[in-house]
Structure 1
Amino acid sequence: MYNLVLVDDEEIVLTGIQKVFKMADYQFNIIGAFSNPLKALESLVELSPDLIITDIKMPQMNGLEFSTRAKQLLPKAEIVILSGYDDFTFAQSAVKLGVSDYLLKPIKKKDFEKMLLSMHDKIENRNNQELELEQLQKAVMINHSALRNKFFLTLVEHGNFLDPYIQALYTQLGFNFKDSPFILVKFVIYEMQPEEDYVSATEKIISEFTGCINGLGSSEAFYSDEYLYFYLYGIQKTTFNRQEFLQIVLSYSRNKAENRLHLLVGVSQIYNSITDLFFATSDCDEYILKADSESADAGNILGGIQNAQRDLRLPYTEMENIFTAISTNDTRKITESVEEIFNLPDTALYKNYFYSIALILLIRMAHLQNKYKAETIIISLNILDIKQLSKNYPSVKQIKELIIQKSNLLAELVHSQSIAPASETMLSALHYIDKHYNENISLSDVADKIFISKNYLCDLFKKELNTTFIDYVTSMRIEKAKYLLTQTNMKMYEISKEVGYNDYAYFSQIFKRYTGITLSNYRKHN
Structure 2
Amino acid sequence: MNDYFENTFNFSLPQELNMYYCGYRKNTYSHSYGPAVRDHYLIGYIKHGKGILYQNGKELPLYSQQLLVMFPHQKIHYIADRHIPWSIKWIGVYGKLVDSYIYSLGITPALPVYPVHDFIKTEEILDDIIRLSTKDTLADKILCIGCLHQFFSCIAGPKITHREDYVEQAVNFIKYNYDRGISASDIADSVGLERTYFSKIFKERTGVSPGHSLLTIRMAKAKDLLLHTRLTLKEISYSIGYKDVFYFSKVFKKYTGLAPSAYRKEAT
Normalising by structure 1, report the TM-score. Answer: 0.20
More strand by share: 2
Q: Is the radius of gyration larger for structure 1 or structure 2?
A: 1
More helix by share: 1
Return the structure number with greater relative CO, CA threshold 8 A, min gap 6. Answer: 2
